[in-house]
Amino acid sequence: MSARPHEIITTPDTGASRFSKEGLIRRRFNRRLRLLEIPDDLTGWNVLDIGAWHGYFSFECERRGADRVLAIDHYSWNRYGMKEFLTAKARLNSRVEHRTIDVHELNAEDVGQFDLVLMLGVFYHLRNPLAALERIRQVTRRLLICETHVLLPFVHERYPLVPFFPGDEHAEEKPYELCAMPTIAGLQQMLRAAGYNDTELVYTPSFKYLKKLVALVTNRPQSGRGIVHAHVHSQ
């Protein structure tokens, strides 16, 4: 069976051709790192990685000098296991902490507060996104980086919409694998409603106009990757 992306990215680089499956996956993850704009120097920072799964971003933050990194997951570790994460942690002799926690149960008294919180590929799985964002705000001391699929309706992308999907053809046995997919405006307003002082749009989806055309022709919403930085101002 061919290795899946999360299995490849947590193994040592073999020096494979940039056009091989491994090379393409590593280039894709490197591009994600650039787009996320995680600070290069995290010395003195505590980092929380929500939905860590394979741990790639947790270990990267540790490499950038973070004092403490806590990786949490619930959905992926319960469904797929922790083999890739634990193997990479042992190989790297990493100090990254890990706990199985549902984001809806996140509590500052339990885990503490963090200068940087990563929420990458998590939002659209949340059945109660605003309640989850309020939990995440409680543990954010400085910066939240939120990367998620955002909706690109043909007309309404400038409005604060957050459609709810009670499952789709990709849901398989999990009826709520895909739940909420906001527009960029909707995501930013929800972050501010959760208590973040301001938001910064870092990346909007590519192939925007092509997806608009597809949405018009198929009468189905189209999505793409969006990245928003949400800031907490010190009192």
In order, the DSSP letters of 139-183 are HEEEEEEEEEEEEE-TTTTTS----B-S--TT-TT-TTSS-B---
139 vs 170, more confident: 139
pLDDT at 62: 97
pLDDT at 55: 94
pLDDT tops 60 at residue 168? no
- Of the pLDDT bands very low, low, confident and very high (cuts 50, 70, 90), residue 175 is very low
44 vs 173, more confident: 44
Output the six-digit token pair for 76. Answer: 């992926």
pLDDT at 154: 61
The average pLDDT across 172-180 equals: 59
Residue-range domains of the chain with CATH? 41-231 (3.40.50.150)
Q: Which residues of 51-73 are buried (b: 16+ CB within 10 A; e: fewer)?
A: bbbbbbbbbbbbebebebbbbbb
The vertex-50 CA angle with 47 and 52, nearest 5°, equals: 95
The average pLDDT across 10-36 equals: 83
pLDDT at 215: 72
The average pLDDT across 10-24 equals: 77
12 Cβ neighbours under 8 A, 6+ residues apart: 91
Which pLDDT tens digit goes with each residue over 182-212? 889 899 999 999 999 999 999 988 766 777 7
Q: Measured between alpha carbons, how far is 211 from 220 in angstroms, rounded to an integer?
A: 10
Which of 20-24, 103-107, 176-180 has the weakest average pLDDT? 176-180
Secondary structure (3-state) at 58: helix
pLDDT at 214: 76
205 vs 138, more confident: 138
**Whole-number mean pLDDT of the chain?**
86
Q: Which residues of 146-169 are buried (b: 16+ CB within 10 A; e: fewer)?
A: bbbbbbbbeeebeeebbeeeeeee
Secondary structure (3-state) at 10: coil
The average pLDDT across 171-191 equals: 75
Nearest to 203 by CA among 86, 80, 87, 31: 31
Secondary structure (3-state) at 126: coil
pLDDT at 235: 59
